[in-house]
Amino acid sequence: MMYYTHLAFAFLAGLFTYTFSPPLAPIPYFALVLLGALLPDIDHRESIISKWMYPLAWLITFFFRHRGIIHSLFFITALFWTISSLFGVVYAIPLCLGFLSHVLIDSLTVHGINYLYPLTTLKISGFIETGKAGEFMLFLVLLALIAMKIFFW
Ligand SMILES: [Zn+2]
């Protein structure tokens, strides 16, 4: 999926989880959710996050394949543990929520996601082609849901 679809879905997930999460001001909470939503594609050289973090991303794409370990549940678990230990669970929750939302929506694509890569296979895929009309429709639906959540719920 493209970065804008990831941002929209993560923002929606943030709107639904904010009140249940350990207290954090809205701006840092949503900033972490959105950052988390961009992070997984650091394993893809053409992504926005890779352009921001160029030397690091280059190194990562050299060693790890796209939608491999960095899009797995193992990596999310390790990230959660690391961020909780270093900075606190208050920050780990929104960051990993954004990250998880990225992987979840990537599994709607034809390419799909193997959640248990590289140990075993738990592959989920869908019918959406990245960057094509189907993804744009999904993006519009997400925007509509965000607007509904903000104005009517
Ligand atoms: Zn991805």
**Confidence tier at 153 by pLDDT (50, 70, 90):** confident
Considering the entire predicted model, what is its pTM? 0.95
Q: What is the reported pLDDT for 47?
A: 94
**Type and span of the H or E element at 114:** strand 113-114
3-class secondary-structure state, position 65: coil
Q: How far is the CA of 112 from the centre of ligand 1 (A)?
A: 9
Q: Would you state the structure tokens that stand for residue 45, as one six-digit string?
A: 């050289």
For ligand 1, the distance from its centroid to the CA atom of residue 41, given in whole angstroms, is: 5
Ligand 1: centre distance to CA 12 (Å) = 17
**pLDDT tens readout for residues 99-110:** 999 999 999 999
Ligand 1 centre to CA of 97 (Å) is: 14
**Contact status, residue 113 vs residue 106, Cβ threshold 8 Å:** yes
Compute, in angstroms, the gap from residue 75 CA to the centroid of ligand 1.
Answer: 13
Q: What is the mean pLDDT of residues 48-68?
A: 92
Cβ burial of 52 (10 Å; 0-12, 13-18, 19+) is exposed
End-to-end CA distance of the chain: 27
117 CA distance to ligand 1 middle (Å) = 14
Four-residue CA torsion sign, 74, 80, 81, 82: positive
Q: Domain extents for the chain?
A: 3-151
